[in-house]
Chain A
Amino acid sequence: MSLDTLTRPWKAFSYGFLDASAKREMRRKILKAIAVPGCQMPYASREVPIARGWGTGGLQATLTLVNPGSVVKVIDQGADDSVNAASIRRFIARVSGAATTLDTVQATIIQSRHRVPEEKLRADQVLVLQVPNPEPLRPVEPNMSVARQMHADADYGRMWLQLYEQIVRSGRVMQGASYPSLVNGRHVMTPSPIPRWDVPKLNMAKHLTILSAGREKRLFAVPPFTRVEPLVFDDVPYRVEDHAGLTCHRSGARGVFMNEIPQEDGTSLHEVSDSQLGVKLLNGEAPGEMWYRDGVFRP
C-alpha cells in the first residue's frame, strides 16, 4: 500500500464546489427542514461565486444535492435563458459534471427563482426555490426575536390582520407574490416570491421543495404530500391570478401563467411565463402533465 492509493490527487475545489463540511451541514439542515415542514432552519451560508441576493441560497442547496447523475434545470422568473439562470446552470455543470436541461420533465433538480414550472413535478424531482426573504412575519413584526416566539406559539393572527388591512384598503387581498401559507397545519412560510398561481402546486405535491435564502442564512422545506394552505378568511376565498382567459401571442397557449408585455400604444401582449413550455408548444411538442388545465388547477 502506498500513499497514492490512500489519497486523491489535489483539486482546486471539492466536488460540487462546497467543501465536505459545508455540504454535511446543508444536508443536516435540509433533513431537519424536511422533518419540520415550513420551519426555518438557520445555516452558515458559505460564500459562492455569485453575489448575495442572486440565488446563493438556492445554489448552495443545489450544490449539496447534485451528483454526476443529476440533470439540472435552472429558471429565473420562468425563463431558462436569462443571464442569471444561464450562469448558475453553467456553474453547476462545471463544478459537478451534472447534465443540464431546459426541459422540466427531464430534470431531476430544478432550481428556480419566482416560479414553479407549469408541468407537474414527479416524486423523483426536487424543486429548489431561491428565497430573498424567508420570514413571513417580517412585515408585521420587525423584531426577529419576537417573530421567532410568534412562530413557536403559532401566533399568526397578525398575518390575517395584514390580509384584513388589504381588504379594508383595497377591497380585496392585494398580496401578489410570497403569499403566506400554512405548512402541515403548523408553520406559516413565505413560499418565496412565487405568484399566487403557483402556491396550489406545492400543496400535497409529489415532489420535495426546498426553499433556501443565502443572504438570510435560512432554509425550509415542503416535503412530498404535505399540506400547503394559503392563509384566507373563511368567507373570502383564495384566488389565483386571473390568467385563464389570456393567450400567449407567440405560442397561442392558454390557461397558463403569463407575462404581460406592455406595448407602446398602451395595450398589452402576453406570453407564457414558463419559457421552455412556450418553446415546446411552438415546436409542436406535447408538454408533460400540467398543473392547470384550461386555467383551472387540477391537483
Chain B
Amino acid sequence: MERAAPRLVRAQPLLRMADVSKRYGDVVALEHVSAEVYPGEVLGIVGESGSGKSTLLRMMNLEELPDEGRYSLDLPGVPEHLFAMDGYARRMLRARHIGIVYQNPHLGLLMKNSSSGNVAERLLVAGERRFSVLREKAKQSLEASEFPLERMDAPPIELSGGMQQRVQLAKAIALEPAVLLLDEPTTGLDVSVQALVLDTLKRLQRERRITMVIVSHDLGVIRTMADRVMVMRRGRVVEAGLVDQVFQDPQAAYTQALVHAKL
C-alpha cells in the first residue's frame, strides 16, 4: 500500500485531551482517556462498537462534556480549558476552529437546502455577509472536495451517499479549521466510492496539512489515512502508537485479535 512519507511534526500538540472520563448511568463510556494530536498529523481511532470512540470524537467537537478531564487546543486566543467554557463560547469555538464530517449526513447537513447553501451556512456563522463571496467560497470548497460544480445547488437529499459526504467535507473545510474530525466518513459507501472519498481526504491532507482525527472500525481506512492510531475498547485506550508499528506488531491481546480478524 502506498503511504506518504512520515511527516515532521512540532513538539507541541495542537489538540490535547487529558484523563477524560464519562459515564452514562452505569455504563462507562470513557475511562481516563488521554490523547494528543500534533499539527498536520492524522490520528486514527479504532475499536469495536461501543468502545467510546465516537463519544471521544463528540467531546473533541465540544458537543458533549465529560464527567472529568481536560481538553485544550493550542491556538491563539483560545482558553486552556475548553470544557470549562460556557455553551456559547463552545459553540463559537466549534464553528470557527473545528470541522466535522459525520457518518450520517443527516446530522451534518440541511438536507433540503442547496449543497452550496450548506457550505455557505458555515461561512455565515463566521459572519460573512456578502452573497458573491459566499457563492465563490462555497464553490471553491466544493471543488476542493471534488464535488461536481454543476450540481452545487442541488439539495443533498437528491444526492448519493458519496456526494453527501463530499458536501459535508466541503462544509467542514470551508473555514479552514484547525482540526478536522471524521466520524466513520466512509461507512455505508460502496468500495469504489469509499476509495474516492479517501483519495480526496488524502489529497486535502497532503495539500493543506490539515490536522485530522478519524474514527473508524475499518482498519483499512485507518491504515490508509492515519499516522498514529489509538485502539479503544470498553472506554479505555488499550494500545496507541505509529500505525505501522501497531498493525505489524500489536502488543495488546485485543489489538492482536482485531488485526488478525481483519487480515
Q: Contact mask A164-198 → B, CB, 8 Å, 1/0?
A: 11011100000000000000000000000000000
Distance from A104 Cβ to chain B, minimum over Cβ atoms (Å)? 36
On whether the beta carbons of A168 and B121 are closer than 8 Å, the reply is: no
Contacts of A169 in B (CB 8 A): 114, 153
- Whether A153 and B91, one on each chain, are in contact in the complex, defined by CB atoms closer than 8 angstroms, is yes
Report whether B130 and A235 are in contact in the complex, using a CB–CB cutoff of 8 Å: yes
Given A153-B88, A160-B124, residue A165 in contact with residue B113 (CB < 8 A): yes
Check if B24 is an interface residue, CB within 8 A of chain A. Answer: no
Residue among A165, A169, A234 with max Cβ neighbours from chain B (10 Å): A165
Partner of B131, one of A153, A155, A157, A235: A235
Binding site for A on B (CB under 8 A): 87-88, 91-92, 110, 113-114, 116-117, 120-121, 124-125, 129-132, 134, 153
Complex Cα distance, B91 from A153, in Å, reads 9
Besides A155-B125, A161-B110, 17 other CB < 8 A contacts? Answer: A149-B87, A153-B91, A153-B92, A155-B91, A158-B121, A160-B129, A161-B113, A161-B120, A161-B121, A168-B116, A233-B130, A233-B131, A234-B129, A234-B130, A235-B131, A235-B132, A236-B131
By a beta-carbon cutoff of 8 Å, the part of chain A in contact with chain B is: 149, 152-153, 155, 157-158, 160-161, 164-165, 167-169, 233-236
Chain A binding surface SS class: helix
A164 to B110, CA, bound (A): 14
Hey, which chain A residues are within 8 Å of B130, CB to CB? 233-235
Residue of B nearest to A154 (CB): B88
Distance to closest chain A CB from B123 (angstroms)? 8
Docked pose: A235 CA to B131 CA in angstroms:
6
A-B contacts, 13 of them at CB < 8 A, read A153-B92, A157-B125, A158-B121, A160-B129, A161-B121, A164-B117, A164-B124, A164-B134, A167-B131, A168-B116, A168-B153, A233-B129, A233-B131
Contact B114 A165, beta carbon cutoff 8 Å: yes
Contact A158 B124 (CB under 8 A): yes
Give the distance in Å from the alpha carbon of A153 to the alpha carbon of B129 in the complex.
18
Distance of A158 Cα from B122 Cα, bound (Å)? 9
User: Which B residue's beta carbon lies closest to that of A152?
Assistant: B88
